[in-house]
Amino acid sequence: MRDRRGAPVLLAGLVAAACSSFSSNAAHAQDAPSTASQIQEVLVTAQRTTSPESKTPVAMSVVSGDALRSAGFDTPAELAKRLPNVHLDGAADGLRITIRGVSNSDATDKGDPSAAFMLDGIYIARPQNQNGLLLDVDRIEVLRGPQGTLYGRNTTAGVVNVISHAPTRKLEAAFGADAGNYRSRKANGMLNVPVNDWLALRAAVATGRHDSYLRNGQGTGHTLGLDADIRTARLSARAALGDTASLLLRIDHSTNDYNPDGFVSDNNFFRNADRGNPVWYGAPAGERLTNGFRPRNGRPEQGWAHNRASGISAEFTWDLGPVTLSYLGAHRKFDLDFLTNYIYRVAPTATLGVRQNFTGGQRQDSHELRVATNGTGALSAQAGLYWFDERSHSNYVFRDLVPIGLTPYYAFPTDPTVAKSRAAFGQLTYRVMDRLRATAGLRYTQDEKSRVGATSFQQGPVFNPATDFQLPNAARIETDKRTWRLGLDYDLAPSTFVYGTIATGYKAGGFNDGCAAGTTLGVACPAAAAVAPGYLFYQPESLKSIEVGAKTRFWNGRASLNAAAFRYDYTNLQLSGNAIVAGAPRFITTNAGVASVRGLELDGKVQATADDRFSYGLTLLDAHYVSYTPDGIHSWNDKKLDRAPSHVLAAGYERRVRFAGHEVRGGVNARRSAAYMIGVPSKLVQYRVPAMTTVDATLAWHPDDAPWTLSAYGHNLGNRIAPATIDSFGMSVPGAPRTYGVRFDYRYQ
């Protein structure tokens, strides 16, 4: 993997050789197995049109709603165990998505992710609004690699698209209840009603609660975080507008009352962490999950948080014969209020407690108009226009920094932060020969970001002009980019498909706290308060990817293999962290120069018999900085990117046993990850998380012809706890401990 000239050629050769071998086996097979012994095909919409997953030229994973339910997964953060080269971490500030070593840590209202999270095709901008309950899910499609043509900006890493069930012309209902450790209790229900020949309705509700995974060692008696109390509901309506058009409407609402104090000190995992030389050490899970930090400068308060999210969307399709016209639009809003108690390391061996109050909200509107050709001709194409507007307001208030000579209160009021994006895109595929197709795509995106706010130095919780002062935070930036995709795919055999793509990705530039001398957005910035443009603004990040892959079915359709070899050239990688600037804590994003990512992914399934199924996966990854000096002096060249283990092995087995009119299914899944890094560039520190194995298990009982199933599940059976995130102040969010539960499902259809 470190042979940077020969690796792509070598990997491409391995893929081709494997595909040739499997194709030969398939061609000489004589006996066709029963359908029950074959791996079933899955239809996906990864290319914005419906196609079999095994014939889609994208490295991707698909997890069905039935698989989620069987495994006991109910949030996106739990999916990563089943996805190659993917980390989905439940951070304190929302869902942290890392795909092939490409990630982002700026969850503020001015930041953007590197992987797009979507709900039924609608881009969800804020990570705080991404890790809710998975409600009535049909499937989740996870696309690895840049998707800049069809999905646009903020897809340099890939796309996670949660696709829910739409109303159908069938009367059906379902109910489920779940109970487990940490006083976990969950329930969900669904009702689908065909009202008449042209209208169908579907309602779904879910609730999920569990106590904190953390222990309080602070001596306060307060409860801590990593808990949940989520309630969510969705109502959908699908109407047939004549024979050629349809309209799908969805409206949803969710709330979550939880404790944001979901972190512990990095000393729970690493010795000498406070001295900038962290070394992993062994400790029981209970110690990892105990917050024993006792601040000397104040007493923590009871942390609390309440968020509310809602949305309405419309999807209209009209078959005009040669083409189909589609419109997808949505309005979404999200509000969050919380009080949390930070661990705030200001210097080696000097750590304070800092309390923070936050109130804020976000509104977003998006519209996409798209036209796609119909039929089976040699040429297929699609083109469209995209429009996105986001407006946010917030106010952070920090206190308790007086012991180090700082102002009693720091406030960061912002209203508004605005993000606008406009795009035009198109992609066409031409069938050069019966088995060979060529694809070309292009997207042009214009982005505009602006913010009006301030950094307030206050004597009390409310700004007083007589005793307090403010530094303006006002900036505006426009960036634009053309992203493109070129590809070839070829059917080596009816069951073997190979492809190659060259694609680009793009994430918009932005700004940090401060202002440029003069007047911006109606806000005056005196020369004494101005900051240098090189500090205020950071540039767009861009990525160029070369990928070859293959998807094949062999052994009479009983086995599958998906393979992908890829190489990225990454420019201006955006990295974020906290620092003290002009006497105030600030969240700063900078560009990291050049990074390189290359790797190999192999995964598949084997249906050994009608009752025995195996799954397997292997990923190899070399993701490192090529040119990066975090402080302008010290080189991080050749240091690894975050959450990029050099290899990961995954294996699963599921067995079905039938007896006396009953069916019992049992399964086990194991994942072995090599060591990986979590970096804090602003402190010139990398935390090395060692190699680790996690094991999940499931067991289900279903009587024949009965409408119900009783099941049990266990996650992280070895109770191995690793940090999900570590920030600049020494706060670490632990991963989930061992959890288990039993579940009852009833279905009427």
Interatomic CA distance for residues 249 and 239, integer angstroms:
9
Q: Is residue 26 predicted with pLDDT exceeding 70? A: no
Q: Is residue 11 predicted with pLDDT exceeding 50? A: no
* Coil/strand/helix, residue 134: coil
Q: Is residue 407 predicted with pLDDT exceeding 50? A: yes
Q: What angle (nearest 5°) sits at the alpha carbon of residue 503, between those of residues 501 and 507?
A: 155
Q: Is residue 22 predicted with pLDDT exceeding 50? A: no
Amino acid letter at 357? N
CA contacts within 13 A on the Cβ side of 520: 21
Interatomic CA distance for residues 90 and 227, integer angstroms:
11
Instruction: Express each pLDDT in 244-264 by its tens digit.
Output: 999 999 999 999 999 999 999
Provide the pLDDT for residue 583. 62
Question: Closest Cα to residue 676, out of 91, 99, 101, 96?
Answer: 101
Provide the pLDDT for residue 2. 44
User: Which tokens go with 668?
Assistant: 């086990």
Instruction: Spell out the residues 6+ positions from residue 227 whose beta carbon is closer than 8 angstroms to its own.
Output: 210, 211, 212, 213, 258, 259, 262
Distance of CA 367 to the CA centre of its chain: 22
Q: Is residue 652 predicted with pLDDT exceeding 80? A: yes
No. of helices (H) and no. of strands (E), the chain: 4, 46
Reported confidence tier of residue 25, pLDDT bands at 50, 70, 90: very low
Q: Is residue 299 predicted with pLDDT exceeding 90? A: no
Hey, what long-range contacts does 461-469 have (CB within 8 A, 24 or more apart)?
461/357, 461/397, 461/399, 461/409, 463/411, 463/413
Reported confidence tier of residue 580, pLDDT bands at 50, 70, 90: low
User: Which tokens go with 277?
Assistant: 């030389």
Give the single-character DSSP code of 515.
Answer: B
Do you know the residue count of the chain?
749
Interatomic CA distance for residues 167 and 194, integer angstroms:
8
- Strand 523-525 and strand 436-458: the pairing is unpaired
Instruction: Express each pLDDT in 677-731 by its tens digit.
Output: 999 888 889 999 999 999 999 999 999 989 999 999 999 999 999 999 998 889 9
User: Which tokens go with 336?
Assistant: 């969050």
Question: Closest Cα to residue 113, out of 541, 421, 413, 678?
Answer: 541
As a whole number, mean pLDDT of residues 416-429 equals 96
Instruction: Express each pLDDT in 193-209 by its tens digit.
Output: 999 999 999 999 999 99
Q: Is residue 384 predicted with pLDDT exceeding 60? A: yes
Instruction: Express each pLDDT in 38-94 by its tens digit.
Output: 888 899 998 988 999 999 999 999 999 999 988 989 888 888 888 899 988 887 778
As a whole number, mean pLDDT of residues 420-428 equals 97
Most confident of 5-14, 179-188, 347-356: 179-188
Q: Is residue 585 predicted with pLDDT exceeding 80? A: no
Mean pLDDT of the chain: 90
* Coil/strand/helix, residue 533: helix
Provide the pLDDT for residue 133. 87
> How many other C-beta atoms can be found within 10 angstroms of the C-beta atom of residue 526?
11
Hey, what long-range contacts does 312-316 have (CB within 8 A, 24 or more apart)?
312/249, 312/250, 312/251, 312/252, 313/120, 313/122, 313/249, 313/250, 313/251, 314/247, 314/248, 314/249, 315/120, 315/121, 315/247, 315/248, 315/249, 315/250, 316/245, 316/246, 316/247, 316/248
Distance of CA 494 to the CA centre of its chain: 34
Helix ranges restricted to H, 490-628? 533-536
CA distance to 14, 311, 567, per residue, from 5 (Å): 16, 48, 11
Provide the pLDDT for residue 27. 42
Q: Where are the domains positioned within the chain?
A: 7-28+41-748
Give the single-character DSSP code of 9.
Answer: H
As a whole number, mean pLDDT of residues 589-593 equals 85
Reported confidence tier of residue 582, pLDDT bands at 50, 70, 90: low
Q: Which CATH number fits domain 7-28+41-748: 2.40.170.20, 1.10.645.10, 3.90.230.10, 3.30.1490.20?
A: 2.40.170.20
Provide the pLDDT for residue 370. 97
Q: Is residue 34 predicted with pLDDT exceeding 90? A: no
Instruction: Express each pLDDT in 325-340 by its tens digit.
Output: 999 999 999 999 999 9
Q: Is residue 741 predicted with pLDDT exceeding 80? A: yes
As a whole number, mean pLDDT of residues 656-669 equals 94
Reported confidence tier of residue 584, pLDDT bands at 50, 70, 90: low
Percent of the chain clearing pLDDT 70 (strictly above): 94
Strands (E), 266-408: 270-271, 279-280, 290-291, 304-319, 323-347, 350-373, 379-399
